[in-house]
Amino acid sequence: MTSALTLLNVSLEYPDGGSTLKALDTVNLKVSRGEFLSLVGPSGSGKSSLLAVAATLVTPTSGLVVIDGQDVSALKESERTALRRDKVGIIFQQPNLLPALTAVEQLLILDHLRGKSVRAAKQRAEELLDVVGLAGVGHKRPHQLSGGQRQRVNIARALMGSPTVLLVDEPTAALDHERSESIVRLLRRVTDEFSTATVMVTHDTEFLPLTDAVATMRDGRLSRALEPSGQPN
Ligand code: ADP
Ligand code: MG
């Protein structure tokens, strides 16, 4: 299988007083389409930094990020923005929905940038709300939705551009156990159905068996990875 997301010797340094802090230290990672990878590790170990670099939101100090065969460092800023818009779906812990907009409108707001017709976009938005289990609530605004429903809107929104790579940062941190499990199950189904290369940062070790592999961050270094069954990958 070809890799949808590749990080090659990626390091990310931040100035830290007189010295530098290595948020990422020579990280290597490949994720294929249809693969669901969990990323675990202590707080401050670099998990969100890895997602930010993979999302092309942060440029690494050194190393390569390749998305769908494109070396991100070779792109101009405008090309990078287009790549992110067309290939990357980002889901953070807090859904960050706009309070004034309905669920359908949350999905449509970025879509005019992708040059689709309003009608096609509306149809896709309705389909995706259906996929995430929100058929019939497209007209509701965030305050009328539960926390779990808001996270589902967030997931549907990330899928609007048909991303190759889906990056998810602690999607269940604000949810109770039952809703957390259904969100991880949804991400599993989405990964299978849309063949996304999905990376999910999580603290919920009990849901790791729903994913294909587990990678661990520690002090900016990544160990990849054991299958949940314990087989080296
Ligand atoms: P995690 O998501 O695993 O908790 P982060 O990727 O957020 O870890 O952070 C990794 C390290 O990088 C931490 O030491 C954090 O303080 C540092 N860091 C993250 N973002 C910045 C930033 N914008 N400026 C300086 N240091 C940062
Ligand atoms: Mg984090």
Please tell me whether the overall predicted TM-score, pTM, comes out greater than 0.85 for this model.
yes
pLDDT higher for 115 or 57?
Answer: 57
Task: Determine the pLDDT at residue 231.
Answer: 47
- pLDDT on residue 84: 94
Query: How does pLDDT run across 188-201, given as a tens digit for each residue?
Result: 999 999 999 999 99
Q: Is the pLDDT of residue 229 over 50?
A: no
With a CB cutoff of 8 Å and minimum separation 6, the contacts of 216 are: 39, 40, 41, 222, 223, 225
Structure tokens that stand for 218 in this block:
């520690």
Report percent pLDDT > 70 for the chain: 94
1-32 confidence digits (pLDDT tens): 578 999 999 999 999 999 999 999 999 999 99
Residue with CA nearest ligand 1 atom 22: 14
Q: List the domains of the chain with CATH numbers.
A: 3-222 (3.40.50.300)
Neighbouring residues of the ion ligand 2, judged by CB less than 5 Å: 47-48
Peptide bond into 173 cis (omega under 30): no
The pLDDT tens digits for 135-172 are: 999 999 999 999 999 999 999 999 999 999 999 999 99
Taking residues 52-69, report their average pLDDT.
96
Ligand 1: distance of its center to the CA of 67 in Å?
23
pLDDT of 230 reads 44
Residue of 10, 11, 14 to test ligand 1 pocket, by largest number of atoms within 8 Å of CB: 14
The atom of ligand 1 lying closest to the CA of 45 is: 3
